[in-house]
Amino acid sequence: VILTVTLNAALDITYQVDTHQPGHTHRVRTVHTRPGGKGVNVADVLTQLGEPVHATGLAGPDVDLPDFVPITEPTRRTTTILTPDGTATLFNEPGPHVTAGEWATFLDHYDSLAPHAHVVVLSGSLPPGIPTDAYTQLINRTTTPVILDTDGDPLRHGLTAQPALIKPNQHELQRLLGRTPRLPHDCHELGVPVAATLGPAGAVLSTPDGCWTARPPRPVTGNPTGAGDAFTAALARGLTDRKPWPDILTDAVALSAAAVAAPHAGAYNPTLYRELTRLVDVKEG
Ligand SMILES: Nc1ncnc2c1ncn2[C@@H]1O[C@H](COP(=O)(O)OP(=O)(O)OP(=O)(O)O)[C@@H](O)[C@H]1O
Ligand SMILES: [Mg+2]
């Protein structure tokens, strides 16, 4: 089973609008609301794939996430404004304050779940009150491979605990390196396997066994929010099944592109996924 951890869960709200102009009043065409946060998105994609998954984390009393450790403060909202051309504008609330006692309860809960997992996925930002080295603590308590998908200081700290794989996007990688990344060269110096995602341009996978680049056959229009989480879901499944690295990368690029075609995070378009799996171009180097 794959275990996903979401310390900063969210109530995801997607507004579909015809146009998006700052300073104007907008008619909202459709509203979609779901419990989210990056690890929840990863778990939802794995469930759609038919892969055994267990989702945990911290959640407030106002959102239905079974097996999350309850916290007192309400869950944050993440609002996506989506236009028909696939432009997504996001408003992410900072998140509730988590107490030291709630974090300690989570660590106990995590210790009861992690030994049963084949792969652990740690995703997203840390809510206020959680120590910056939270992911380092979790990785150090885990004997199975851990995939880390986060940003800034939590990512910098987490790297010191040697996760099996990290999944930065271009901006996260730039912040981590402190300069514009030169790929694949710059990934080597991070000392852990890196799957760097590049939006519609695909992704680069750098490991001690080699380096591969893969791109989707064409850009997909839709909702790009959560494409990275679908990518991470494919990585987790690939590590669980011990697939070869280039196969894992091909699958992740196809699945994440198919996730763009689904209207909200945590889902993919299965027809497009099947089609793209045959068309993704993967190259060594
Ligand atoms: N427009 C697109 N067309 C085709 N594939 C895409 C497109 N956008 C993203 N992808 C696929 O999704 C992967 C992840 O995208 P991206 O780098 O934007 O992740 P991200 O910023 O981590 O996303 P998020 O954190 O919102 O889940 C890419 O590597 C690519 O394979
Ligand atoms: Mg991401």
β-bridge mates for residue 123, sequence order: 6, 149
pLDDT at 241: 98
Instruction: For ligand 1, say whether the CB of 202 is within 6 Å of any of its atoms.
Output: yes
pLDDT (tens digit, 9 = 90+) per residue, 51-106? 999 999 999 999 999 999 999 999 999 999 999 998 999 999 988 999 999 999 99
Instruction: For ligand 1, say whether the CB of 270 is within 6 Å of any of its atoms.
Output: no
Q: Given the residues 12, 149, 186, 229, select the one marked as catalytic.
A: 229
The separation between the first and the last C-alpha atoms of the chain, rounded to the nearest angstrom, is 32
Of 171, 260, 264, best ligand 1 pocket probe by most atoms within 8 Å of the beta carbon: 260
* Whether the Cβ atoms of residue 155 and residue 125 lie closer than 8 Å to each other: no
Q: Strand 88-92 vs strand 28-36: parallel, antiparallel, or unpaired?
A: unpaired
Residue nearest to atom 9 of ligand 1 (CA): 199
CA of 256 to the centre of ligand 1 (A): 6
Angle (CA) 233 235 238, round 5°:
110
* Whether the Cβ atoms of residue 48 and residue 116 lie closer than 8 Å to each other: no
Instruction: For ligand 1, say whether the CB of 198 is within 6 Å of any of its atoms.
Output: yes
Give the residue-averaged pLDDT of 30-35: 95
Give the residue-averaged pLDDT of 141-165: 98
Annotated catalytic residue 229: yes
Tokens at 56, concatenated: 């945990």
- Assessment of whether the complete model's pTM goes beyond 0.85: yes
pLDDT (tens digit, 9 = 90+) per residue, 199-212? 999 999 999 999 99
Instruction: For ligand 1, say whether the CB of 228 is within 6 Å of any of its atoms.
Output: yes
Instruction: For ligand 1, say whether the CB of 254 is within 6 Å of any of its atoms.
Output: no
Considering every ligand atom, which ligand is closest to the CA of 273? 1
Q: Using the 8-state DSSP alphabet, how is residue 98 labeled? A: P
* Whether the Cβ atoms of residue 53 and residue 147 lie closer than 8 Å to each other: no
Whole-number Å distance between alpha carbons of 258 and 145: 26
Tokens at 97, concatenated: 């304050």
pLDDT (tens digit, 9 = 90+) per residue, 211-260? 999 999 999 999 999 999 999 999 999 999 999 999 999 999 999 999 99
Instruction: For ligand 1, say whether the CB of 203 is within 6 Å of any of its atoms.
Output: yes
CA of 168 to the centre of ligand 2 (A): 7
β-bridge mates for residue 122, sequence order: 5, 148
Distance of CA 177 to the CA centre of its chain: 20
Residue nearest to atom 20 of ligand 1 (CA): 228
Tokens at 229, concatenated: 């989480």
State the virtual CA torsion across 146, 166, 271, 47 in degrees, nearest 10.
Answer: 30
Q: Which residues surround ligand 2, an ion (CB under 5 A)?
A: 169, 228
Whole-number Å distance between alpha carbons of 232 and 250: 12
Determine the residue type at 90: L
**How many CA atoms does the CB half-sphere of 200 hold within 13 Å?**
10
Of 14, 121, 166, 197, best ligand 1 pocket probe by most atoms within 8 Å of the beta carbon: 197
* Residues in the chain, overall count: 285
pLDDT (tens digit, 9 = 90+) per residue, 172-191? 999 999 999 988 888 888 99
Give the residue-averaged pLDDT of 29-35: 95
